[in-house]
Chains A and B, each alone.
Chain A
């Protein structure tokens, strides 16, 4: 009888301890997950960050990634005040390559040598020879490299009609042997083909694995 009473006491004590521990764990999990979700929902865009952080500007950069163009928002400091600043910052961010990529198709060690605005709305981008020398890739890689640079500049620099490329101050015929580099990029790269007119969908791998029929 006495043993029975003692056993029940132990049982209730253990049950109380377990209930308390369970409550603590559930509370912890609720708080940590809840705030995590909240944090995710409240994650501001690059543009919002740029507005809040005084002296910085958001840029849209189009990178060639696995046969497609992928847009990334980048925030740069100091604040972009002129078109020259915008052109320079855009190219510099483009040359850094996409975030977290080990093997980007952007030719490594390329330096921006200068940016010039032509009288007819053409923007000249002068890059070091590494852009040509270190390019490794096929026709689609070269197309996306040039298209990504072109789309990035058109998105961030106001009032330009087209983009022209210089290597060490000179026009050269080609970067990788498949595309022309001595013509306005927009007129070469933008075509009537429904498969290659947009950006997200075109520069867009365009490969569908099926024939033209």
Chain B
């Protein structure tokens, strides 16, 4: 009787220990295997590539690379504050070529990829890539061009969520959706979108609140997309 009780207790203790261990392990592996939580944000241009250069009437100059970086940093900190893992391809002002950006993004196994640029006009432009033709061509020129193909539908879904969110945050600004071939997005194995924010002639990127507003809109789109 006593023996049975001791054995029962041991079984119970072992079960509880195993259960606790399995729960913790499942939680840990679940987080690692769920790239849906990870957003990679790419700030366009950088280093000697200034992107669009705008000289304002007050004699100040805004370089696209700086505005892109400011917006990307704001997006990353807003997402992190909301508990979403977020990383930058270009955390500082340095030149990166298109393939380097793709490699940096892929290294984080992203669940979403967003490349931030400025537009030449007063509108927000949202781009999804238009995939290249000859996917069976052995002389394929993009090393990674097939990566985006399985995700193109999800990229459009994320673009749609982004469009809605930006329209809500900036009701007086046009938001245009465009599909053209974009090699960086082709190289990403995850839903991938390029966002161009209005030219510095229309938004003052020296004001940190502007990047903050855009970041809130992007974070809203990520939440809506993940739902």
Using a CB–CB cutoff of 8 Å, the interface residues on chain A facing chain B are 136-141, 143, 173-174, 176-180, 183-184, 187-193, 195-196, 205-213
- Which 6 residue pairs spanning A and B have beta carbons closest together? A193-B130, A212-B156, A207-B176, A191-B130, A211-B160, A183-B141
> In the complex, what residue of chain B is closest to A191 when comparing beta carbons?
B130
Q: Is A178 a contact partner of B117 (Cβ separation < 8 A)?
A: yes
Q: Which residues of A contact B194 (CB under 8 A)?
A: 139, 178
Using a CB–CB cutoff of 8 Å, the interface residues on chain B facing chain A are 44-45, 49, 51-53, 97-99, 117-121, 125, 127-128, 130-134, 141-142, 156-157, 159-160, 163-164, 174-184, 194, 196
CB distance from B110 to the nearest CB of A (A): 20
CB distance from B49 to the nearest CB of A (A): 5
Q: Which residues of A contact B182 (CB under 8 A)?
A: 139, 178-179
Contacts A174-B97, A188-B132 given: A206-B180 contact, CB under 8 Å?
yes
- Among candidates B141, B163, B181, residue contacting A143 with C-beta atoms closer than 8 Å: B181
CB distance from B63 to the nearest CB of A (A): 11
Q: Which residues of A contact B121 (CB under 8 A)?
A: 138
Q: Is B125 a contact partner of A138 (Cβ separation < 8 A)?
A: yes
By CB atoms of chain A within 10 A, which of B97, B98, B133, B178 has the most?
B178
- Among candidates B53, B130, B157, B183, residue contacting A136 with C-beta atoms closer than 8 Å: B53
**In the bound complex, CA of A175 to CA of B131 (Å):** 20
CB distance from A165 to the nearest CB of B (A): 13
Q: Which residues of A contact B125 (CB under 8 A)?
A: 138-140, 207
Contacts A138-B125, A189-B181 given: A209-B44 contact, CB under 8 Å?
no
Q: Is A187 a contact partner of B176 (Cβ separation < 8 A)?
A: no
Q: Is B120 a contact partner of A179 (Cβ separation < 8 A)?
A: no
Q: Which residues of B contact A205 (CB under 8 A)?
A: 178
Identify 5 new A-B residue pairs, CB closer than 8 A, beyond the known A178-B117, A211-B163, A212-B157.
Answer: A138-B196, A174-B97, A177-B98, A206-B178, A212-B177
Q: Which residues of A contact B53 (CB under 8 A)?
A: 136
Q: Is A212 a contact partner of B181 (Cβ separation < 8 A)?
A: no
- Among candidates B49, B159, B174, residue contacting A177 with C-beta atoms closer than 8 Å: B49
Contacts A140-B180, A177-B44, A187-B134 given: A212-B160 contact, CB under 8 Å?
yes
**In the bound complex, CA of A143 to CA of B120 (Å):** 13
Contacts A138-B118, A207-B176, A207-B178 given: A192-B128 contact, CB under 8 Å?
no
Q: Is B98 a contact partner of A143 (Cβ separation < 8 A)?
A: no
Q: Which residues of A contact B175 (CB under 8 A)?
A: 209
Q: Is A188 a contact partner of B141 (Cβ separation < 8 A)?
A: yes
Q: Is B117 a contact partner of A207 (Cβ separation < 8 A)?
A: no
CB distance from A40 to the nearest CB of B (A): 35
Q: Which residues of A contact B181 (CB under 8 A)?
A: 143, 179, 188-189, 191, 196
Q: Is A193 a contact partner of B44 (Cβ separation < 8 A)?
A: no
- Among candidates A176, A179, A207, residue contacting B177 with C-beta atoms closer than 8 Å: A207
Q: Which residues of A contact B176 (CB under 8 A)?
A: 207-209
> In the complex, what residue of chain B is closest to A67 when comparing beta carbons?
B121
Q: Is A196 a contact partner of B183 (Cβ separation < 8 A)?
A: no
CB distance from B46 to the nearest CB of A (A): 9
> In the complex, what residue of chain A is closest to B134 when comparing beta carbons?
A187
Q: Which residues of A contact B180 (CB under 8 A)?
A: 139-140, 143, 196, 206
CB distance from A196 to the nearest CB of B (A): 5
Q: Which residues of B contact A206 (CB under 8 A)?
A: 178-180
Q: Is A180 a contact partner of B98 (Cβ separation < 8 A)?
A: yes
